[in-house]
Amino acid sequence: MQTREFLAQVRDDEIVAAIKAAEARTSGEIRVFVSEKVIDDAVIAAQVTFTRVGMTKTRERNGVLIFIAPRTRRFAVIGDEGIHRHCGPEFWRLLATEMSGCFKQGRFTEGLVLGITKAGELLAKHFPHRSD
């Protein structure tokens, strides 16, 4: 699937609303990144992107990135070391499995909103919203 085709199927307003709702409850940061590149390993590509876009600079190292590469039909959800300490790899694996179920049915917006919402719940539990 070409990146433009993927983006045409995604309802941006719902994704932005889900991010805003999740981030209103936490000091963490959630981003969705759609890559136009052909990749072999989504986790490695996500880790490189995570650092490149400055997500390691959150005060509590509590950023979450949902990385999607439509051309190779791969994606990854990764969290920085602060949030990863609270959930471990099993949380990310289960979340990716749930999102994958939506993606396989062509329900891309629903899969992204699911991932954003669950990551937001985890962030809110361990990193509640701060006034500063």
| Sequence-separated (6 or more) residues with CB below 8 Å from residue 100 | 75, 111
Q: Tell me what the mean pLDDT of segment 85-91 comes to.
A: 89
pLDDT at 1: 81
What mean pLDDT is reported for the chain? 94
Contacts of 87 (CB under 8 A, 6+ apart): 79, 122
Residue 55 · residue 62 · CB < 8 Å: no
How far, in Å, CA of 79 to CA of 31, rounded? 10
Mean pLDDT for 34-63 is 95
pTM > 0.75? yes
In the prediction, which pLDDT does 21 show? 98
pLDDT at res. 2: 87
Query: The tokens 């932005």 sit on which residue?
Result: 16
pLDDT digits (tens, 9 = 90+) for 6-19: 989 999 999 999 99
